[in-house]
């Protein structure tokens, strides 16, 4: 079903009857009207697709193409979250200390076994130039988890205000240790280096007020910078492979992510042809 038509961008909404998630999943396609051969375009999957509607994502894409006339053609697919968002998003196979993220493996299966075949069929595209994944908050953690664990299928990941604090025990537990109990940091540390992967992280100085180690830096920024350190120690180049965007007035909200998204698009796909 076509929802809207911004000059140069067509927006379609589809519904997938997911067996993996036992629910219907709304999926929005943002398609450049100039694309005729989708196998020559890049594909960007975005968690929390309902937030794209709030930020008028089609207009963001239209402006991106106006300002980057030689940009790589990019098809964006936003997957709306369901009522069990805190169960479906997280780290596959590793729920947090409260059991949240227990269905993240099901969501990963949905992406691989149901979403990707559906996209290929709808666009008549057996393959794409490249595939990337992005998300906001907990959806950003989920995107990173999928890309890190399936690097053969992706080239880039975008994490906006990511829930990188996701931990195996409560931070108030006297045994808590940042180096031992933040799940995604452990996963990066123990994982394999895939030299083609690129990483985009965005944080705002007003994302939150928590500062668990009392160093004067909010936790979301600490967690992100620590993760970047893990990536560089794994072998990724800080300048070539990683982009970090910090907004002094950035909050943990849709308007901030909307302001940040053009930088992600330009970093990943601007003027590359």
Question: pLDDT category, 139, cuts 50, 70, 90?
Answer: very high
Distance CA 196, CA 2 (A): 35
| pLDDT band for position 5 (cuts 50, 70, 90) | very low
Q: What is the pLDDT of residue 219?
A: 85
Q: How many domains does the chain have?
A: 1
Which among 65, 129, 130, 72 is positioned nearest to 262, based on CA atoms?
65
pLDDT of 68 higher than 80 = yes
Express each pLDDT in 116-127 by its tens digit.
Answer: 999 999 999 999
Q: How many CB atoms lie within 10 A of CB 23?
A: 14
Q: Which domain holds residue 199?
A: 2-269
The angle subtended at Cα 189 by Cα 252 and Cα 198, nearest 5°, is: 60
Give the pLDDT band (50/70/90) at residue 212: confident
Average pLDDT over residues 206-227: 89
Q: Check which CATH number belongs to the domain holding 215 and give it.
A: 3.40.50.1820
Q: What is the pLDDT of residue 273?
A: 45
Q: Which residue has the higher pLDDT, 81 or 214?
A: 81
Question: Residue 35 has what pLDDT?
Answer: 86
Owner of token pair 């950003």? 140
Q: Is the dihedral of CA 17, 31, 133, 80 positive or negative?
A: negative
Strands (E) located in 141-239: 156-160, 198-206
pLDDT digits (tens, 9 = 90+) for 147-177: 999 999 999 999 999 999 999 999 999 999 9
pLDDT of residue 32: 92
pTM, whole model, 2 decimals? 0.95
Mean pLDDT along residues 101-106: 98
Task: Return the exposure string of 194-230: e unless at least 16 CB atoms fall within 10 Å of the residue's CB, then b.
Answer: beebbbbbbbbebbbeeeeeeeeebbbbbbbebbbeb
- Closest to 10 in 3D by CA, of 111, 123, 120: 123
pLDDT at 3: 45
The C-alpha angle 91, 207, 184, rounded to 5 degrees, equals 20
Average pLDDT score over residue span 261-271: 94
CB atoms within 10 A of CB 26: 16
pLDDT higher than 90, residue 184: yes
User: Exposed e or buried b for every residue in 115-154, given b needs 16+ CB within 10 A?
Assistant: bbebbbeebebeebbbbbbbbbbbbbbbbbbbbbbebeeb
Q: What is the mean pLDDT of residues 106-123?
A: 97
Write down the mean pLDDT value for the chain: 94
1 pLDDT more than 70: no
- In the predicted model, is pLDDT for residue 50 greater than 70? yes
Residue 7 reports pLDDT greater than 80 = no
Q: Which long-range contacts (CB under 8 A, 24 or more apart) does 37-40 make?
A: 38/75, 38/123, 38/124, 38/125, 38/128, 39/125, 39/126, 39/127, 39/128, 39/129, 40/73, 40/129
Please check the confidence at residue 93 and state whether its pLDDT lies above 60.
yes
Residue 244's pLDDT is 98
Q: How confident is the model at residue 272 (pLDDT cuts 50, 70, 90)?
A: low
pLDDT of 2 > 60? The answer is: no
User: Which of 240-245's residues contact partners 24+ apart within 8 Å by CB, and which partners?
Assistant: 241/197, 241/198, 241/199, 242/198, 242/199, 242/200, 242/201, 243/198, 243/199, 243/200, 243/201, 243/267, 244/201, 244/202, 244/203, 245/200, 245/201, 245/202, 245/203
Nearest by Cα to 134 from 44, 267, 51: 44
The encoded tokens of residue 139 equal 């959806």
């Amino acid at each position: 079903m076509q929802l809207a038509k911004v000059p140069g961008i067509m927006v379609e909404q589809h519904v997938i009857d997911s067996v993996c998630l036992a629910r219907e999943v709304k999926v929005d396609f943002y398609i450049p009207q100039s694309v005729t051969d989708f196998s020559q375009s890049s594909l960007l999957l975005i968690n929390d697709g309902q937030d794209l509607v709030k930020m008028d994502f089609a207009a963001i894409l239209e402006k991106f193409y106006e300002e980057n006339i030689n940009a790589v053609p990019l098809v964006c697919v936003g997957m709306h979250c369901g009522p069990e968002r805190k169960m479906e998003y997280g780290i596959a196979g590793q729920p947090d200390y409260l059991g949240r993220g227990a269905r993240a493996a099901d969501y990963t299966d949905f992406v691989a076994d149901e979403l990707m075949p559906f996209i290929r069929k709808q666009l008549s595209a057996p393959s794409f130039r490249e595939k990337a994944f992005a998300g906001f908050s907990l959806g950003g953690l989920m995107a990173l988890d999928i890309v890190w664990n399936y690097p053969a299928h992706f080239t880039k990941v975008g994490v906006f205000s990511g829930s990188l604090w996701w931990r195996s025990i409560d931070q108030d537990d006297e045994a808590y240790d940042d180096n031992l109990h933040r799940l995604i940091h452990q996963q990066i540390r123990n994982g394999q280096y895939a030299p083609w992967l690129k990483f985009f992280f965005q944080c705002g100085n007003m994302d939150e007020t928590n500062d668990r180690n009392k160093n004067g830096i909010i936790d979301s920024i600490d967690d992100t910078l620590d993760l970047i350190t893990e990536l560089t120690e794994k072998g990724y180049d800080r300048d070539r492979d990683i982009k970090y965007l910090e907004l002094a007035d950035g909050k943990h909200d849709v308007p901030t992510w909307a302001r940040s998204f053009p930088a992600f698009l330009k970093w990943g796909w601007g003027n590359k042809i």
